[in-house]
Amino acid sequence: MTVKHYTYRVTWSPEDGEHVGLCVEFPSLSWLAKTPEAALKGIRKVVADAVADMQTSGEAVPEALAEKHYSGEFRVRIPPQVHRNLALAAAEQGVSLNRLASAKLAG
C-alpha cells in the first residue's frame, strides 16, 4: 500500500483565505497553503508522516478507497410507504425494483 493511492482533494477555504488539502481516508488531517499545488504537496506529506507513525506504533493503517473491492451491493432501509411507492413505480415502468432504484441513485 502506498500513500499515493489515497483520495486527496484540494479546495478553497474562505475562512482561512487559503487552499486546503484534504485526504478522505484521514478526515482529521488537513494542510493550508497559498496555492493548490502546495496544499496537495502538504497534505500528502502529512499523510505520509501519519502513516509512518502508525506503522511504527503497530496501528492499523486505513486502506485506500481506490484499493477496496466494491461488490455493487448495499442495503438501504427506507420507510414501508416509500418501498411500496417504489415497487409500484417499478411495476408501472416494467422494470425491477433494483433497476429503478439504481437508476434513481445514478441520476
17 and 43 together in one domain: yes
Percentage of residues in the chain having pLDDT higher than 70: 99
Q: What would the mean pLDDT of 52-78 be, rounded to a whole number? A: 94
pTM of the model: 0.74
User: What is the pLDDT of the chain when averaged over all its residues?
Assistant: 95
Same domain, 55 and 91: no
Domain of residue 79: give its range.
70-106
Same domain, 12 and 37: yes
In the predicted structure, residue 2 carries a pLDDT above the cut 90: no
Give the residue-averaged pLDDT of 29-52.
98
Q: Give the residue-averaged pLDDT of 46-54.
A: 97
Q: Do 15 and 60 share a domain, yes or no?
A: yes
Cα dihedral sign for 53, 23, 76, 68? negative
- In this predicted structure, what is the pLDDT of residue 8? 98
Rounded-to-integer distance, Cα 3 and Cα 94, Å: 46
Q: Which of 103, 102, 94 is nearest to 76 (CA)?
A: 102
Please say if the pLDDT value at position 85 is more than 90: yes
User: Are 10 and 51 in the same domain?
Assistant: yes
Instruction: Identify whether residues 61 and 9 lie together within a single domain.
Output: yes
Does residue 59 sit in the same domain as residue 92? no
Does residue 1 register a pLDDT over 70? no
How buried is 30 (Cβ within 10 angstroms: 0-12 exposed, 13-18 middle, 19+ buried)?
middle
Segment holding 18, helix H or strand E? strand 18-23
Average pLDDT over residues 79-92: 95
